[in-house]
Chains A and B, each alone.
Chain A
Amino acid sequence: MIEFSKPTLEYDLLWPLLLVFGVACAGVLVEAFLPRARRYLVQTVLALAGTAAALGGVIYVGVNLDDHGPARGEIVAMGALAVDGPTVFLWGLLLVITLAGILLFAERRLEGGVSAFAGQAAALPGTDAEREASTKGLDHTEVFPLMMFAVGGMMLFPASNDLLTLFVGLEVLSLPLYLLSGLARRRRLLSQEAALKYFLLGAFSSGFVIYGIALVYGYAGTMDFGGINEAIANSTGSRTMLLIGIGMISVGLLFKVGAVPFQSWTPDVYQGAPTQVTAFMAAATKVAAFGAMMRLFYVAFGSERWSWAPMLWVIAVLSMVVGAVLAIAQSDIKRMLAYSSITHTGFIITGLIGARSASDLAKGELSSTQAVLFYLVTYGLMTVGAFAIVTLVRDAGGEATHLSRWTGLGKQSPLVAGVFALFLLGFAGIPLTAGFVGKWAVFASAMSAGAWPVVVIAVLTSALAAFFYIRVIVLMYFYEPIGDGPAVTLPSFMTATAIGLGAVATVVLGVVPGPVLDLAAHAGEFIR
């Protein structure tokens, strides 16, 4: 006899998450009931206000979390979600990135009064319908609710405390992103191809995840992270099944963060998607997916650390090396940044394998959770800023992403070139930028855990990576512009704010990283 009981939900902890989903639903209603002319403003304000309120809520929830020794927070929603220190930290970071993302999405000055999204996505490229849509100046304001749904999924993902919620979070965050990738106003075929590729490959990798979940469930008899950990500790059932399960779930997560050998979609999708979407997606997806990965590996598979760590060693090394080497050969700025993000994935995984039990840590030593959280902050904010700058450098055909169009930018627009150079130096990890402290944190954590071969390769690749970042700076400053040269379109305050946020973070987190490191330390460990 199955008994149904009413689920209990801790609304006082979960309301920021629910608010984001609520805003997304409200956005759909706005699309349905408001006249076209008024949707843009209402959607933008709704999304901004909702995100800001949710951010306020996250801060409120974070301040009031209960402290239980190494971890703080609660397992809520009948064991489906964990609202603990790292969750709240990641939520806050995601919402900050979302605020910047909304500002980028709402930018209309760059395209001369319309957004960067297709006027009529359903109209085939090159048809009369498309021409009509563009002459009328139509906009797809659905991008805002789509984005909010994705954000909801991203918040769900790192908070999920059982395998099914993990899978739901994965899908909720992915589906809107597939769609958003295909909505570019210019170079639509490229964009649609990217979206289709992303969707097909994403679906393929989701298949691995669900099969892996089934196997792990078969081993442990439970979906719950804590329960799985217990089952592993008591070592019941067939280990082969467990290991294959771990492997298959990892495939899906590693696909999302773009780790080698699951990176093949990254350059194509980053290049094809509207740059605003790329900016948001590159930063936020990585934050969410690494959050989920840490919880899964630390909490559910924590006792199996010695099984998965060597696999991640290899993945980290591959991601760093392949990303850095291929980035050198790129001639498109968006592809170069895509490969650079693959390298950064490798760096973050390096931090991830620095996992040690709390008792092994000396007092006050950087834990790997702390290092990875800090790295995600620096990487996320710099990425949003860097891609936002890519939207500004334009010629008659839209964004000028070929590197040859960036030569001599320092002469045309010292400010834009200067800020972009700052981001590149940050990515390269030059001291006094956020990137340096982030790299330092993850490398130190991995080194302390004995993963020195990975750290050696990481340092080698950062040297290699510095080469292609600096090359762009040299291109911008040391060469004369080719032909008419690039033109920098002046953005409205919205894009400028997003870029400013990234630039300030790059400098401040490089010079005084203490408060954010402390905050990450204060977040504590994952609750079990």
Chain B
Amino acid sequence: MLSGLAAESHIPVVDPAAADGVFSLAWLVIVLPLAGAAILLLGGRRTDRWGHLLGTATSLGSFAIGLAMFIALLGRDSGDRSVGRELFTWIEAGGFKVGMDLLVDPLSILFVLLITGVGSLIHIYSIGYMEHDGRRRRFFGYLNLFIAAMTMLVLAADYLGIFLGWEGVGLASYLLIGFWQHKPTAAAAAKKAFVINRVGDIGMSLAIMLIFVTFGTTAFAGVSAAASGADEATMNVIGLLLLLGACGKSAQVPLQAWLLDAMEGPTPVSALIHAATMVTAGVYLVTRSNFIFENAPIAQTTVVVVAVVTLLWGAVIGCAKDDIKKVLAGSTMSQIGYMMLGAGLGVAGYAFAIFHLITHGFFKANMFLGAGSVMHAMDDDVDMRHYGALQKAVPVTFLTFAMGYLAIIGFPGFSGFWSKDKIIEVAFTENIFVGLCALVGAGVTAFYMTRLMLMTFFTQKRWEPEVHPHESPKVMTVPLMVLAALSVLGGFLLLSNWIVDWLAPVVGHHAHEEPPLPALAMTAIVVLVVAAGVALAWFTIGRTEVPRTAPTDVNVLTRAARADLYGDAINDGLVVNPGRQLVGGLMTFDAAVIDGAVEGQAAGMGGLAGVFRKVQNGFVRSYALSVLVGALLVILALLAVNLG
């Protein structure tokens, strides 16, 4: 045990007690929506009539069990709030054992409540939103599948279990982004999300493999007990690999490019998966792996760097987009950057990262659903330049959206104010430069969100005469109201430091450090910066005429921001194009002319093609030659390695 580390802050070991009472039902949280998905997807047309109701009911059922477990946990002492439920042994070979075990503790239960709670609201909203879609049943099936996978991810007591959920949410997200498959853009976006997430998954799998090799187990209990004694270099590598996984899922730079495109999915999906829950899985992973990151200083610093870059990156993109959903997507990226920042700051920040994650879950889901409601009113138009002065046409949506807006910019008293302020404060305490970046981010957030508000609900009316905006039905507005209320009141979680104490058994307790300035002064500065952002937006957009088409004579920064800061170009240059060339080059080894059929690849061959085309064309003699060359290589390699 490293005594210095132990004195500074104690990292708790995961040591769950056996499940009893309501906790023995923990598996139902996962199985209920899973059963719902199975019935809806396999049941076929028979379930069309009541499928959406069943889907909503299973999600609500999971929420009820989650709530019961939460209340039961509240009744326990803070030391006993970690409960393990062993379901069955998944892999067992000799002494190596992976159990299908669940872990209910203060961290996972908050996620269960967020996922199933916000998830249920979004299920209800979707009943109205998807009403005229012929494949509504399938949509609910996928949503249920997502809830099952996501609860699996957060309830798993083992890295392999997390991985199972991780792949599951990836699959559900893929299916839902591409849900409107008749749109080629949707199919392309789904594919992009899939490919980029595979890159993240590589990091995840390698991390798990390395954890297994280092500790001989992949269970949190075993790893957390042995983590402090492990070699620091190994821990850094594990931490960096986990971070790569987290970047893929949480759309952090450099794996951020898929999130903006993912907005091709139906809006409830954007709200549930690409704002409130799935994209925060990376933050969950880092927080859950606190016993690794606390022993891996380089990895932890990298988390902070990635987070800061992303929070500014997303905010800049948000400033230049005209598509309402893409502004929100850029903002999601940026807000997850804040959470990652909190998680990267270590014991002092974990609780606030989770706090911001929860409040963000409320207000961002609220705003996405609000955006969906606006689109519903505007015949599915997403361009804010075609909106304007909608506050009279859709009053309920406007009011609920405004609550989300005030929360995200951090208007004093609203939920986002408490959570973001805390992260900025901790950032300043740890490092002045990081704190400044977070502060600037808050100002930019205020700017682009005010811009969105003004262009959508205020300024002059810019819709076509044939568009008749109308308020959405009750089934859609009631969830909005609930989420709006939560956006306002979410800050209560911080009352008498409740969330910090609640999470302390999982993430450790931090000795209070004095920030460079008194807390009140810090808050005042943040509020001033936010006010400056709002004012800037008011003077540049609110006071002028908004053109219906985006002006093209804009400066370099705007152009870059409109192009997602060239995220795609970077991806293409670094990964896609070299990959194509590799395939093209290797393809020449496989001209596949066994039956004389040309496979239609000839035109696509580039790179090495000219050199190798003559070598390989289905003739036995060429194959024999390749065997001979291979044999020579094998033998020469053997000789070179051993005798050289």
Q: Which residues of A contact B (CB under 8 A)?
A: 187, 189-190, 193-194, 196-197, 200-201, 204-205, 208, 239-240, 243-244, 246-248, 250-251, 254-255, 260-262, 264-265, 267-268, 271-272, 306-308, 310-311, 314-315, 322, 325-326, 328-329, 331-332, 335, 362-366, 370, 430-432, 437, 440-441, 443-444, 447-448, 452, 455-456, 459-460, 462-464, 466-467, 470, 478-479, 511-514, 517-518, 520-521
A247→B620 contact, CB < 8 A? no
Q: Which of B86-94, B223-231, B401-409 contacts A (4 or more CB under 8 A)?
A: B86-94
* Complex-state Cα separation, A479 to B184, whole angstroms: 11
**Chain B residues near A189 (CB, 8 Å)?**
595
Given A196-B620, A271-B594, A463-B201, the answer on whether A362 and B216 have CB atoms closer than 8 Å is yes
Q: In chain A, what residue has the closest Cβ to B639?
A: A243
Interface residues of B in 187-214 (CB under 8 A from A): 187, 194-195, 198-199, 201-202, 205-206, 209-210, 212-213
Q: In chain A, what residue has the closest Cβ to B595?
A: A190
* Complex-state Cα separation, A197 to B92, whole angstroms: 44
Q: Provide 8 A-B residue pairs closer than 8 Å at the C-beta atoms, listed in order of the A residue.
A: A200-B624, A251-B631, A254-B634, A306-B642, A325-B583, A512-B88, A512-B90, A517-B91
* Complex-state Cα separation, A434 to B419, whole angstroms: 44
Q: In chain B, what residue has the closest Cβ to A455?
A: B209
A447→B634 contact, CB < 8 A? no
A308→B638 contact, CB < 8 A? yes
Given A307-B638, A364-B96, A511-B90, the answer on whether A459 and B206 have CB atoms closer than 8 Å is yes
| Minimum CB–CB distance for B93 against chain A, Å | 4
Chain B residues bordering chain A, tally (CB within 8 A): 61
A459→B627 contact, CB < 8 A? no
SS of B interface (majority): helix
Which residue from B95, B209, B627 sits with its C-beta under 8 Å from A365? Answer: B95
B582 at the binding interface (Cβ < 8 Å): yes
B540 at the binding interface (Cβ < 8 Å): no
* Complex-state Cα separation, A370 to B616, whole angstroms: 38
**Chain A residues near B641 (CB, 8 Å)?**
307, 310-311
| Minimum CB–CB distance for B382 against chain A, Å | 23
B633 at the binding interface (Cβ < 8 Å): yes
**Chain A residues near B630 (CB, 8 Å)?**
251, 260-262
* Complex-state Cα separation, A267 to B88, whole angstroms: 41
**Chain A residues near B620 (CB, 8 Å)?**
196-197, 200-201
A517→B205 contact, CB < 8 A? no
* Complex-state Cα separation, A247 to B638, whole angstroms: 7
Q: In chain B, what residue has the closest Cβ to A255?
A: B627
B93→A251 contact, CB < 8 A? no
* Complex-state Cα separation, A272 to B620, whole angstroms: 14
B583→A328 contact, CB < 8 A? yes
Q: In chain A, what residue has the closest Cβ to B208?
A: A440
Q: In chain A, what residue has the closest Cβ to B88?
A: A512
B627→A201 contact, CB < 8 A? yes
| Minimum CB–CB distance for A337 against chain B, Å | 14
B127 at the binding interface (Cβ < 8 Å): no
B623 at the binding interface (Cβ < 8 Å): yes
**Chain A residues near B599 (CB, 8 Å)?**
331
B20 at the binding interface (Cβ < 8 Å): no
* Complex-state Cα separation, A518 to B164, whole angstroms: 23
B637 at the binding interface (Cβ < 8 Å): yes
* Complex-state Cα separation, A370 to B91, whole angstroms: 13
A326→B590 contact, CB < 8 A? yes
SS of A interface (majority): helix
**Chain A residues near B187 (CB, 8 Å)?**
478
Given A314-B637, A460-B202, the answer on whether A513 and B91 have CB atoms closer than 8 Å is yes
**Chain A residues near B199 (CB, 8 Å)?**
463
Q: In chain A, what residue has the closest Cβ to B95?
A: A364
**Chain B residues near A464 (CB, 8 Å)?**
198
* Complex-state Cα separation, A244 to B206, whole angstroms: 35
User: What are the 5 closest A-B residue pairs judged by CB atoms, nearest first?
Assistant: A364-B95, A364-B94, A261-B630, A247-B635, A264-B623
Q: Mark B295-318, 1 if CB is under 8 A from A, else 0.
A: 000000000000000000000000
Interface residues of B in 612-630 (CB under 8 A from A): 616, 618, 620, 622-624, 626-627, 629-630
B163 at the binding interface (Cβ < 8 Å): yes
B633→A459 contact, CB < 8 A? no
* Complex-state Cα separation, A250 to B216, whole angstroms: 33
* Complex-state Cα separation, A470 to B167, whole angstroms: 13
**Chain B residues near A441 (CB, 8 Å)?**
93
B601 at the binding interface (Cβ < 8 Å): yes
A466→B93 contact, CB < 8 A? no
Given A190-B595, A208-B631, the answer on whether A268 and B91 have CB atoms closer than 8 Å is no
**Chain A residues near B643 (CB, 8 Å)?**
239-240, 243
Which residue from B590, B626, B635 sits with its C-beta under 8 Å from A267? Answer: B590
Given A268-B594, A444-B209, A470-B194, the answer on whether A311 and B96 have CB atoms closer than 8 Å is no
Extra contacts, 10 of them, besides A201-B623, A251-B630, A365-B94 (Cβ < 8 A), are A194-B594, A205-B627, A246-B638, A261-B630, A310-B641, A311-B634, A311-B637, A366-B93, A431-B167, A520-B93
| Minimum CB–CB distance for A77 against chain B, Å | 31
Q: Mark B212-223, 1 if CB is under 8 A from A, else 0.
A: 110010000000
B583→A329 contact, CB < 8 A? yes
A370→B93 contact, CB < 8 A? yes
| Minimum CB–CB distance for A89 against chain B, Å | 14
Which residue from B94, B198, B586 sits with its C-beta under 8 Å from A325? Answer: B586
**Chain B residues near A521 (CB, 8 Å)?**
93-94
| Minimum CB–CB distance for B235 against chain A, Å | 16
* Complex-state Cα separation, A437 to B164, whole angstroms: 12
* Complex-state Cα separation, A247 to B634, whole angstroms: 6
B589 at the binding interface (Cβ < 8 Å): yes
B181 at the binding interface (Cβ < 8 Å): yes
Q: Mark B60-94, 1 if CB is under 8 A from A, else 0.
A: 00000000000000000000000000001111111
Given A200-B624, A307-B642, the answer on whether A326 and B586 have CB atoms closer than 8 Å is yes
**Chain B residues near A265 (CB, 8 Å)?**
623
B143 at the binding interface (Cβ < 8 Å): no
**Chain A residues near B592 (CB, 8 Å)?**
267, 332, 335
**Chain A residues near B181 (CB, 8 Å)?**
478-479
**Chain A residues near B589 (CB, 8 Å)?**
264, 322, 326
Q: In chain A, what residue has the closest Cβ to B629?
A: A261
Q: In chain B, what residue has the closest Cβ to A464?
A: B198
| Minimum CB–CB distance for B619 against chain A, Å | 9
| Minimum CB–CB distance for A355 against chain B, Å | 16
* Complex-state Cα separation, A193 to B291, whole angstroms: 60
Q: In chain A, what residue has the closest Cβ to B601?
A: A329
**Chain A residues near B582 (CB, 8 Å)?**
325
B164→A432 contact, CB < 8 A? yes
**Chain A residues near B639 (CB, 8 Å)?**
240, 243-244, 247
**Chain A residues near B594 (CB, 8 Å)?**
190, 193-194, 268, 271-272
Q: Mark B169-181, 1 if CB is under 8 A from A, else 0.
A: 0000000001001
| Minimum CB–CB distance for A448 against chain B, Å | 6
Q: In chain A, what residue has the closest Cβ to B594?
A: A268
| Minimum CB–CB distance for B135 against chain A, Å | 12
| Minimum CB–CB distance for B108 against chain A, Å | 19
B426 at the binding interface (Cβ < 8 Å): no
Interface residues of B in 90-127 (CB under 8 A from A): 90-96
| Minimum CB–CB distance for B150 against chain A, Å | 15
B587 at the binding interface (Cβ < 8 Å): yes
B160 at the binding interface (Cβ < 8 Å): yes
* Complex-state Cα separation, A520 to B94, whole angstroms: 10
Interface centre among A201, A260, A431 (most CB of B within 10 A): A431
A197→B96 contact, CB < 8 A? no
Which residue from B595, B635, B638 sits with its C-beta under 8 Å from A187? Answer: B595
B623→A197 contact, CB < 8 A? yes
Q: In chain B, what residue has the closest Cβ to A513?
A: B91
Which residue from B178, B201, B627 sits with its C-beta under 8 Å from A262? Answer: B627
B586→A322 contact, CB < 8 A? yes
* Complex-state Cα separation, A76 to B359, whole angstroms: 72
A431→B163 contact, CB < 8 A? yes
**Chain B residues near A255 (CB, 8 Å)?**
627
| Minimum CB–CB distance for B219 against chain A, Å | 15
